[in-house]
Chains A and B, each alone.
Chain A
Amino acid sequence: MSVDTEEQSRSASRDEALAELEKNWGERPSLRSWFSTVDHKRIGRRYMVTAGVFFILAGTDAMILRTQLARPNATVLSPEAYDQLFTMHGTAMIFLFSTPMFFGFGNFLVPLLIGARDMAFPRLNAFGYWVFVFSGTVMFTSQLVGRAPDGGWFGYVPLTDTPYSTGVNLDVYSLGLLFLGVSTTAGAINFIVTVVKMRAPGMSLNRLPLFVWAIVGTSFMVIFALPALNLANAMLFLDRRFGAHFFDPGHGGSTLLWQHLFWIFGHPDVYIIVMPALGIVSAVLPAFCRRGVVAYPLMVLAIVTISIISFGVWVHHMFATGLPQLSYSFFSAASTLITIPSGIQIFAWLFTMLRGRIVVRTPFLFIVGFIVTFVLGGFTGVMFAITAFDQQVTDSYFVVAHFHYVLFGGAVFPMLAGIYFWLPKFTGRMYAEKLSRWAFWLVFVGFNTTFMPMHVSGLLGMPRRIYTYPGGLGWDIWNLISTIGAYILAVGLLLVLIGVVHAVRRGAPAPDDPWQGDTLEWGTSSPPRPYNFAAVPQVHSLHPMWDERTTRALATDEPLPSHRAMTTSELDGRQEGAIEMPEESLLPLAAAVGILVVVLGLLWAWYWTGWYWLAGAGALLIFGALARWLWPPERTPEEAGVAP
């Protein structure tokens, strides 16, 4: 009897606590809250939706490009239009789609996977999103008015410098990427700090899910690689607008300096894109193999190794520039070796399948598609590490084929797997299995039909970035097949989109844990409440949701009230204390608008130098917003603590 009443009062107090949590964490749906939200789940979803929109735009660019290339001497596009389209396709896919999409995944999932209530810096998170959406909008708007960047995503000088590039196009590129860099850097710092300090008690580093490891590795690469790109773009802007001579050999500058800086960023960036995708593979597989990914320590080692070696291979993008042979052989060796950690991961996944019991659902199908395509991309990757072969096929369609196998096969396939896998958690709805299988097969067949023939056209000597080509060189048929494949691929991706929209509108309500997953996000509702977890999860193993100690505690532990989150120690996840989480705020938006104004002022100053004042006004706005943002609350001497 007394047990019952105790039970009852326990459940009553639990309900009370949940109501209080709801009050503390819930953001009332209003226009203001739409702009001021700091909830990592809302921001994460926004990242994904926005990146998805940019993907559709950049994908449409690609479809127009492929239409132009379907036949020789086609006139669908003028050379100028073609150049802007291929530049925007590459730039947007790399900067405005892949990385932000994975940041969206990370934003939504990292706090859930580590059992936290939010990111370490929720306002910085909101700020990063606004900066991203503004910079992407600026760049795509330039395309709308026919002033898009046209120097290739790699922006090689002197073509992108004065006097060869006139007009505002390349300023959109350099300023747009600098602008975006603010967002990416803020996001990366936020991820690292979140993972380092906010993990649930008991989640020592050796119990950290592989996806989270991948996000941390990615973030570290961002921190060390992005400065090189930012610097290069700042130099380019100074060269173009203010007459500096960094890249001008006539005045002691060097065009190769651009290439070095760009690729010191550019090669790690390949892994910045692919590594979170590999993390998704490691996160999805356990649910469909009914066991954890084998060789966890090796997997972590592989992630760490890749993050480091990726900084030592950039010269393989410059194998045709006439650098000394010795440096070629060094960078060739490093580029060859970096495939080993990737190989370890591939075989670890294969052995996971071979030792588990496979349940084939759509996310799993995309993982299989990933393995097939990524392995092929890896082979051509090794070939490009071999200098002599690289010199023959670099800048031909062979390299276009290669990096689409790596980036589409290696990043988009896992991304699609992740979308289907976590859709229940993102939206609270299930997708339709049959439709999604159609989508998989169309994407898989369309992808290979598009990009496999490009290996051939490349070997047949077709250079990349040409707006058309003469007939009779043996390229016609391969290009036609590629274009047909591109249309199939587009239909497949459209089915993915329809599937997601259908799920959101009509999908069956998702259970909390539809896959019997192993990580903590499945231990909360679908979609999660604003506070994520009522009680702080206790982690005792690598697969907390397969661990009864954790699941039992999640269901019965006393909810943790107030607007606070727990901090734990860096290595072993020992609890250290709690921090008050910031409330929603419009200041991140204001600061982002400030940067937007600076960028627009600098851009428009191309037409009228008076706009530089606008840039100044934007700087004041940033300063004001930041000063207000960081202003500490007034405290009584007692609260602050003053020496007697």
Chain B
Amino acid sequence: MTAVAEKATSPRLLSAEMPSGRTTGWWGMVLFVTTEATIFAALLGSYFYIRFQSGPQWPPPPLEDPKLTKVIIMTALLLPSSVPVMWAERGIRKGQRWRLRAGLTITLVLGLAFLGMQAWEYSEDLKKHTLTTDAYSSLFYTTTSLHGFHVAVGLLMVGWLLAASLRGSFGYRRHERVRLTAIYWHFVDVVWVAIFLCLYLSPRL
């Protein structure tokens, strides 16, 4: 970079096409994800707080441990969905728009499948207990549906990116929004792992 050597206030520097370093958008998204993660941390903290206040049986009888089959399939859908996003981001950094479009489409499909599975799982859970059954159920539904909402928001972002990419807004010079969406999507993924461990696996320990 010759720009660094130039005088600080040179107008030429300010029209530099490729700013170095992290962008303001990157910082904004990371901080946003941090505060969002804190909400989930507080929610899972509340879950364990209620759990340790409660009797020896968890979930409280007559409820049973949450069923795992569907949830494992859901995990198997959501976790790998980060890979095509990464692949798409790498692609657009090289200016390969087809990779961006293909990667985003795969993520969109996987995410939608996850939400579909969650709806299916809910339809069976709701026969056994609802938000109003007890504190455990309130926490269970609030946590999972808050995450589901985040997946939906993530999908909106991915779909929106896809639409913008079809119009041709991104390339190796301009792709920051792809990077930011990818951060958000990875976050949604990681939160799911935490929820899976706490809500589904930990009652079996």
Contacts and interface: CB of A to CB of B under 8 A. Distances in A.
Interface of A: 120-121, 124, 185, 188-190, 192-193, 196-198, 201-202, 223-224, 226-228, 230-231, 234-235, 238-239, 242-246, 248, 251-254, 257, 260-261, 264, 535-536, 538, 557-558, 560-562, 564, 566-567, 569-570, 574-579, 623, 627, 630-635, 637, 639-644
Interface in B132-167: 132-139, 142, 156, 160, 164, 167
Most buried by B among A196, A252, A630, A637: A252
Contacts of B60: 252
A244 B38 contact: no
B46 A261 contact: yes
Interface of B: 3-4, 8-9, 11, 13-16, 18-24, 27-28, 31-32, 34-36, 38-39, 41-43, 46, 49-50, 53-54, 60, 94-97, 131-139, 142, 156, 160, 164, 167-175, 177
B9 A189 contact: no
B15 A254 contact: no
B179 to A, nearest CB: 13
A280 B46 CA distance: 37
Interface of A is mostly: mixed
B24 A567 contact: yes
A640 B28 contact: no
Contacts of B9: 535-536, 538, 557-558, 560
13 contacts: A224-B38, A226-B35, A235-B138, A252-B136, A253-B50, A257-B49, A536-B8, A561-B11, A564-B14, A575-B4, A577-B14, A634-B169, A640-B175
Given A223-B34, A635-B174, A264 B132 contact: no
B135 A223 contact: no
A254 B52 CA distance: 11
B138 A577 contact: no
Contacts of B133: 245, 251
A639 B175 CA distance: 11
A577 B177 contact: no
Contacts of A120: 24, 27-28
B24 A640 contact: no
Contacts of A632: 164, 169-170, 174, 177
A202 B23 CA distance: 18
Given A120-B28, A192-B27, A576-B21, A254 B170 contact: no
Given A223-B34, A245-B134, A577-B20, A643 B174 contact: no
Contacts of A188: 31, 35
A234 to B, nearest CB: 8
Contact of A244 (B35, B131, B160): B131
B135 A246 contact: yes
A239 to B, nearest CB: 8
Contacts of A198: 24
A251 to B, nearest CB: 4
A637 B164 contact: no
Given A189-B35, A231-B43, A632-B174, 20 more contacts: A121-B24, A188-B31, A193-B27, A193-B28, A197-B22, A235-B138, A242-B132, A243-B132, A244-B142, A245-B133, A245-B134, A570-B21, A575-B4, A575-B13, A630-B177, A632-B177, A639-B171, A640-B174, A640-B175, A641-B95
B42 A567 contact: no
A600 B156 CA distance: 25
Nearest to A251: B134
Given A576-B21, A643-B94, A227 B35 contact: yes
